[in-house]
Chains A and B, each alone.
Chain A
Amino acid sequence: MSLAIHIVLLIALPLLLSCVIRKTKALMQGRPGPPLFQPIFDLVKRFRKGETVSSTASWIFRANPLVGLSIALVVAMVVPWTGAEPLARGSGTADLILIVYLLAMARFFSLLAALDTGSAFGGLGASREAALAVLIEPSILVSLSAVALASGTMDLSVALQSPVRGTVALLSGSAFLLAALAELSRMPVDDPTTHLELTMIHEATILENSGRNLALIETTVALRTAVFFGVGVQILLGKALRSPDNAIVSAASSAAAILMLGCLLGVLEGIAVKLNWRRVPSFVAFSTALAVMSAFVAAVGA
């Protein structure tokens, strides 16, 4: 039952979340914006379009969207980001280190694919994204480790659903969400709508993709956004959102919290200015510092 809820949310929530973010952002900018479900229409349209592939591209370029989507699906299946019970709960499949390195593998493939096209933008975007990844990874790893320390297990499917002290939850949850903003290339670090060569990071790596490839990549991005937000919500508010005897209630409140976070992100993207590329390290340093704090608070436990 609980697993069915997890799968339903896994299919529905990512697309809904990207719709909500886009609509809020449009409203914040003072324009009515496209219809609420426009991102879904776009996706359907892209699946039906033809595509152009660079003549230097090899099989890596074609494999990248599939690798990315399948890794994101595996992570989304085993991590309890919806508040419902995930697949294979408590079997150690959702090991913290494994999840972090699965995500790193997906990034490795997307960087290779960006270089594979032979376009100058691909290389530029890949080098920027690699630099950013080096900065973000410690923060994500340490903030998740704080939760693991506090709950006494490395298995995220158990750790995210066990009660954690408020201070640890606050510090590691905020650290994780700030790092997630950078990891998902959202606003203060990267503007997902820009296509200006000086500023784009993630967009530069997917510039050569079109048609079905692009649709797959956008699905992956939506899924990853939902998973990262969901994990952040579970760390930050998990204690309040969970009701032990009713899976539907806890899943629904988690989904509502994730959508609220999406609205918040839309507001943030409406008012914030993209950081200067040289200032990004200090943004990430704040997240890392919070993560280190939370890990020690979890370890000392006073």
Chain B
Amino acid sequence: MATFQELVGLAAMASLWMLGITRVRSMLWGLGAQGAALGALLLFRGINNGSIGETLLGCAVIAVKAIAIPVFLNWSACRLHVVRDRGVGLGPGLAMLAGALIVVLCYFKSGWFSAAGSVSGNAGLAIATVLMGLIIMMTRRLALGMLIGFLVLDNGIFSYAFTQTPGIPVVIELGVLFDLFMGVLLAGMVLFRVSRSFEHMDVLEMRELHE
């Protein structure tokens, strides 16, 4: 049986890359590549199993995760005049090596996370993507960078669910995807409000709640 581990590995590669860069637009390219890899995973698996629902879901994932969300976030970044998100704590090189360490540990211990009867390596790579998303969220200063970290985390959960379970009904998955997109739109609105009332999005500067 084909396990499509290359595509899960590609998603992990994209998050590793996003750990080490500060330009928001490059991060969005990484996010889009990750979404495309996960969508392609579903698409190919759907075609392999002859399941129309999974194939369609793959197309929907590519449309939302690889195109709609990155394009929307790029538009917001242009409107908010955000180019770079200088991280705090870990520098780019160290962050990438930390990410590689996480992947290695998760891969070694992938037996802990994997469901019976599935390929354990995929579970390790997916959990590593979740953890790298967490690191991105922790080490960014701007709310936009944190949002991207959250989306990486979500992609990790998504790839875990799809490589470890036989599948959730397509209707529910489509609903979750739609919810995610609405969530990103709402977060974008909140970002506009934040930057209008504080004139920046730097979380280090937000020490108290106004009004």
List residues of A whose CB falls within 8 A of some B CB: 165-167, 170-171, 174, 279, 281-282, 285-286, 288-290, 292-293, 296-297, 300, 302
List residues of B whose CB falls within 8 A of some A CB: 5-6, 9-10, 12-13, 16-17, 20-21, 91-94, 96-97, 99-101, 103-104, 107-108, 110-111, 119-121, 124
Q: Most chain-B CB neighbours within 10 Å: which of A166, A170, A286, A296?
A: A286
Q: Is the interface of A mostly helix, strand, loop or mixed?
A: helix
Q: Distance in Å from the Cβ of B186 to the closest Cβ of chain A?
A: 33
- A293 CA / B111 CA spacing, docked (Å): 17
Tally A-B pairs: CB < 8 A.
72
Whether B93 and A300, one on each chain, are in contact in the complex, defined by CB atoms closer than 8 angstroms, is no
If A170-B6, A296-B108, A302-B107 touch, whether A289 touches B96 (CB-CB below 8 Å) is yes
Contact partner, A302, options B13, B91, B120, Cβ 8 Å: B120
Closest Cβ neighbor of B10 among chain A residues: A170
- A281 CA / B97 CA spacing, docked (Å): 12
Whether A286 and B96, one on each chain, are in contact in the complex, defined by CB atoms closer than 8 angstroms, is yes
Contacts of A174 in B (CB 8 A): 13
11 contacts between A and B (CB under 8 A): A166-B5, A167-B6, A282-B96, A285-B97, A288-B97, A289-B16, A289-B97, A289-B100, A296-B103, A297-B107, A302-B120
- A302 CA / B6 CA spacing, docked (Å): 12
Contact partner, A300, options B5, B17, B96, B121, Cβ 8 Å: B121
Q: Distance in Å from the Cβ of B64 to the closest Cβ of chain A?
A: 25
Q: Distance in Å from the Cβ of B8 to the closest Cβ of chain A?
A: 8
Contacts of A293 in B (CB 8 A): 12-13, 16, 100, 103-104, 107
If A302-B107, A302-B120 touch, whether A167 touches B17 (CB-CB below 8 Å) is no
Contacts of B103 in A (CB 8 A): 293, 296
Whether B10 and A302, one on each chain, are in contact in the complex, defined by CB atoms closer than 8 angstroms, is no
Whether A286 and B12, one on each chain, are in contact in the complex, defined by CB atoms closer than 8 angstroms, is no
Contacts of A296 in B (CB 8 A): 103-104, 107-108
Contacts of A279 in B (CB 8 A): 92
Contact partner, B107, options A165, A289, A300, Cβ 8 Å: A300
Whether A290 and B16, one on each chain, are in contact in the complex, defined by CB atoms closer than 8 angstroms, is yes
Whether B93 and A281, one on each chain, are in contact in the complex, defined by CB atoms closer than 8 angstroms, is yes
Whether A297 and B9, one on each chain, are in contact in the complex, defined by CB atoms closer than 8 angstroms, is yes
Contacts of A170 in B (CB 8 A): 6, 9-10, 13
If A286-B96, A289-B99 touch, whether A167 touches B20 (CB-CB below 8 Å) is no
Contacts of B94 in A (CB 8 A): 285
If A167-B9, A297-B121 touch, whether A302 touches B110 (CB-CB below 8 Å) is yes
Closest Cβ neighbor of A279 among chain B residues: B92
- A290 CA / B6 CA spacing, docked (Å): 13
Whether A286 and B107, one on each chain, are in contact in the complex, defined by CB atoms closer than 8 angstroms, is no
- A170 CA / B104 CA spacing, docked (Å): 16
